[in-house]
Chain A
């Protein structure tokens, strides 16, 4: 078990470093001089003096060769120092920390909502495979899989803000639940479909298996069997929640734009737009870390629930 975990952690760390190197090189290879861009060298505006450019490069270490910059950035990142933004010169960690609460609140709320809606929906469909409930929930899930999150968010805005006037047209965390209900609902609907599908499959298979049939003959109720099936599906749910993290990160970028929510996703979109290299790198690290850590946690949970996974790894 310990060896399994160590190997997994080392593998994930290598993946993460690979991700960062790719993004670093990608952004450094982009056309245009970041110093010139950051000091206001946009077309039509007066270019900064060459002394100012030199000073900017020295402050941000842009005058050193690429491999040295990459190495020192990785070293600093390991000490939780992500450098300073090209935009306003403030530490990247602080800029990220400022936006993280709004994003995490919305995402947490969304996950709660999604799980609360999706598990009953999946169980409902699994009770009678091919029945009316199964077909209705199947149609609903197909629809949710095919509608992009931002289009869904815009349609919800039309309904709840413009027609019914229940919520503000722009998300506002200071209004409490009413201010963030719509972005949370949008993200929840994005996460709902995969959770419901896994529930449907796990419960459906368990209820129609030979042991379940013989259990039914001995007087077990479908209710008991459903709960047991849900418990036994724990590794599948763990893997699923890991798979949901990248979706939620991408969803946040779009949904925050739709609702004008000042969160981490907006920060990423703005930083890509303004070529704020340190901030983009920092956010890449954070989202990559979120994905890798949740995958690791899911692997560990699956290995605890089913020791055969550890043995299989040995080959």
Chain B
């Protein structure tokens, strides 16, 4: 790369999304009192995400509803803000789970001999022989749709990538001089794994976490789009896009905001990943 780009700047951009998700109940809610200056600042979107208003269906952007209203007269901006909770929540949970599972299985494969190694590699092969969406969709028939189920299913498709990276590093490290020295000094197998191998093996896998986060957000949106994700009236961006398909010819403003929000979230996650792998 020609220029050094700071990881910190990109992390700050990415942090905007969890911040909106956390503050959503404050940012977008029904305003009961007469709007004071303070209330306007604290609650810029004065509509409840689930408040329907059949007299105000398909209002175009501008005026009272900044981004317009949908087929039930719900405020698009308010639903967008609350939708961040689903996307960010499921994405973060899935990425964390995938990272933990991948690290555990990958280091076990690298440290516990050829039989464990082959078993873990075979499992990663089985999972990766599948389009992730097919696996997640098939699994969605197992349990009632909820953000929790979605996160677990998405993590199930994400761990092999981490496991392969951690395994490769663990194999390389287990014959490194400092590990051999530790073994010669009489360190137990567990101590060798957790103190001398794992800390070094995790680093390259950590750099892929933003990419896994981006992929998890996309998968959650796809699942919701197919109607297999968080159930209504959840404001998930994928479901908003599926609903918008029905009224495409009359209300373009229902399509563009969730699409742009998804795009920006995934893009900023990928940019953090890029910066991380370049700065190493």
Contact = CB atoms under 8 A, between A and B. Distances in A.
Given A130-B2, A162-B248, A148 B126 contact: no
Interface residues of A, number: 50
Interface string A139-171: 000110111101100110110011000000100
Nearest to B1: A130
Contact of B141 (A16, A22, A27, A143): A27
Q: Which of B126, B252, B271 has the most CB of A within 10 A?
A: B126
A269 interface: yes
Nearest to A135: B2
Given A254-B133, A288-B129, A14 B138 contact: no
A291 B258 contact: no
Interface stretch (B16-24, B200-208, B224-232): B224-232
Main secondary structure, interface of A, reads helix
A253 B122 contact: no
Contact of B221 (A15, A19, A148, A273): A148
B244 A154 contact: yes
A16 B127 CA distance: 10
A148 B129 contact: no
Number of chain B interface residues as a range: 35 or more
B185 interface: no
Interface string A257-276: 11000000000110011010
A197 to B, nearest CB: 12
Main secondary structure, interface of B, reads helix
B217 to A, nearest CB: 9
A254 B262 CA distance: 16
A146 to B, nearest CB: 4
Contact of B142 (A31, A254, A268, A291): A31
A254 B122 CA distance: 28
Q: Which of A147, A169, A275 has the most CB of B within 10 A?
A: A147
A292 to B, nearest CB: 6
Interface stretch (A86-94, A174-182, A207-215, A244-252): A244-252
User: Which 8 residue pairs spanning A and B have beta carbons closest together?
Assistant: A250-B133, A151-B259, A250-B131, A146-B267, A246-B131, A146-B266, A18-B126, A249-B131
20 contacts: A26-B142, A30-B141, A145-B270, A146-B270, A147-B263, A147-B266, A148-B218, A148-B225, A148-B266, A151-B221, A151-B241, A162-B248, A162-B249, A169-B248, A269-B226, A273-B141, A273-B228, A275-B141, A283-B134, A288-B129
